[in-house]
Amino acid sequence: MNHKIQGVPPAIARGVEAGAGTPARGLAGAERSQPVEASPAIDSMRLTGEAAGLQALQREIGSAPASIDVEKVNQVRAALADGSYRIDAQQIADRLLAFENELLK
């Protein structure tokens, strides 16, 4: 959040009008001894090029039709249900390493 501080006339900054010894009055004429409501905060945000690209990609993916292989999902469900689904740890490790190598390129 950015705040810009503007110069304030010395009488208002001290809370007393110059030489009068009375409470200073604001621009609208209200006494400064009364509570003053805070003005609403104004937040701003600036996206980097990378964030804007990710946002565009998210919109693109969100609007694309989902491509789910229902037959494959049903095969995995059936294998899980009957206990025949096997996990090949070596294949998972090999694919993870291949993925990492691709990221490093």
- In the numeric block, the tokens 């604001």 are attached to 26
Whether the Cβ atoms of residue 23 and residue 16 lie closer than 8 Å to each other: yes
- Comparing CA positions, the residue from 30, 26, 29, 28 lying closest to residue 13 is 26
Task: Kindly give the confidence (pLDDT) of every residue in the chain, 105 residues in length, as a single tens digit, with 9 standing for 90 and above.
Answer: 566 666 665 555 555 444 455 555 556 665 667 777 777 778 887 878 888 899 999 988 888 777 888 999 999 999 999 999 999 999 999 999 999 999 998
Q: What are phi and psi of 26, to 5 degrees?
A: -75, -175
pTM above 0.85, yes or no: no
Stretch (H or E) spanning 25: none
